[in-house]
Copies of this chain bind each other. A is one copy, B any other.
Amino acid sequence: MNKYKEKINLVLQNFFDAKIIQTAKISKFNCDIVKILKEYTLRGGKRLRSLLMIYAYQALGGNKQSEIIKASAAMELVQTSLLIHDDIMDQDNLRRGGESVHYKYSKYFDEVNEHFGVSIAIIAGNIAASYVFDVIGNTTFSDSKKIKAMQIIIDYLAQVNFGQAEDILLSKKENFTEAGIEKVHYFKSMTYTAMMPILSGASLADYDKEKINALKIYAQNVGLAFQIHDDIIGIFGDTKKTGKPNGSDLSQNKKTFLILKTLEYASKTEQEFIKKLLGQKSITVYELEKARKIIIKTKSLEYSRKKAQKLIGKAINAIQKSTINQKSQIDLIKIANFIIDREK
């Protein structure tokens, strides 16, 4: 995994460096936007989606090694584009341990100008999105394969945006259900964390119905498990590792299985305490610690962990039962286990 990570980062670095030279001809201001996109993209990130794209391509027997690594950088650009817009919507100042784009640009002038920050961040996210297809377009895969990959990416991009809308709406609601959370997980997370990279990667290799079906089951389960684990990290993770402020999932009133189950099994006073935190502007370390204890006590943490483990089990099972080559099976299983093991 680390071997690929370095290569993906190198592709991203070269891509952005070429764009920086190009945009320097337009203006310093524009060039700086690209520099920020580069830094934001390379700042952190697990390259998880790129790896899934590469592994899916290899699972289908694809062997244009350097081309698929190039193409996989597109997944990081999708991520950058979505996260920049996400940061605006969540009003997050921090991302991957650095400043979010809208926050950075809100301080561009002597006087803080939030609207200016948001405007430039919308633009920066759009530019990153256009770079996604730039990357795919400039690989040496056949035109029909490129078109297929692009269509898959575009289709899931629309779905992620719909999921995001649903998520925002849900965060404004008092009541929520398991089905509501599942819908958001499905569209917002599973689609672009797993389906997009896996199916676009597969589409760049030769078609094989049986293997693609196995990868689809894998993607669905791994994608949902990813989000459940992400929600666990969101409350139990170490801020230093996640790069997000303490308890931000709580203050953003993010609807998770963790919270749903906690509210179901907690005592009345505990329930009231948790409800008070949801949407509260900032959460103290003490409050977060108390919330964590309640989540553990109600066995809600255990419930989420088991749910994620079960999904990963299903994902691994689908791969093991398939005719996918041994090496790819090992890679896909390793990354599936990593998804519910990671600390950030």
Contact A134 B154 (CB under 8 A): yes
CB of A88 within 8 Å of the partner chain: yes
Assess whether A27 is interfacial by the CB under 8 Å rule. Answer: yes
Nearest B-chain residue to A91, judged by Cβ: B115
Cβ of A85: which chain B residues have Cβ within 8 Å of it? 122-123, 126
Contact of A161 among B91, B126, B143, B154 (CB under 8 A): B126
A137 contacts partner chain B, Cβ-Cβ < 8 Å? yes
Complex partner residue of A30 from B33, B109, B116, B165, CB under 8 angstroms: B165
Q: Least Cβ distance of A281 to chain B in Å?
A: 14
Q: Is the CB of A123 within 8 A of B33?
A: no
Give chain A's interface secondary structure class.
helix
Contact of A130 among B29, B88, B134, B161 (CB under 8 A): B161
Contact A131-B147, Cβ < 8 Å, known A27-B166, A168-B120 = no
In the assembled complex, how far is the CB of residue A133 from the closest CB belonging to chain B, in whole angstroms?
Answer: 5
Query: Contact: B127 with A162, CB < 8 Å?
Result: yes
Cβ-defined contact, A119 with B89, below 8 A: yes
Q: Are A116 and B168 in contact (CB under 8 A)?
A: yes
The interface residues of chain B lying within 8 Å CB-to-CB of A285 are: none
A147 CA to B139 CA, complexed, in Å: 12
Given contacts A89-B122, A122-B122, A143-B143, contact A165 B131 (CB under 8 A): no
Taking the closest CB of chain B, its distance from the CB of A78, in whole angstroms, is 11
Contact B26 A166 (CB under 8 A): yes
Chain A positions within 8 Å of B, measured between CB atoms, are 23, 26-27, 29-30, 33, 85, 88-89, 91, 109, 115-116, 118-120, 122-123, 125-127, 129-131, 133-134, 137, 142-144, 146-147, 150-151, 154-155, 157-158, 161-162, 164-166, 168-169, 172, 183, 187
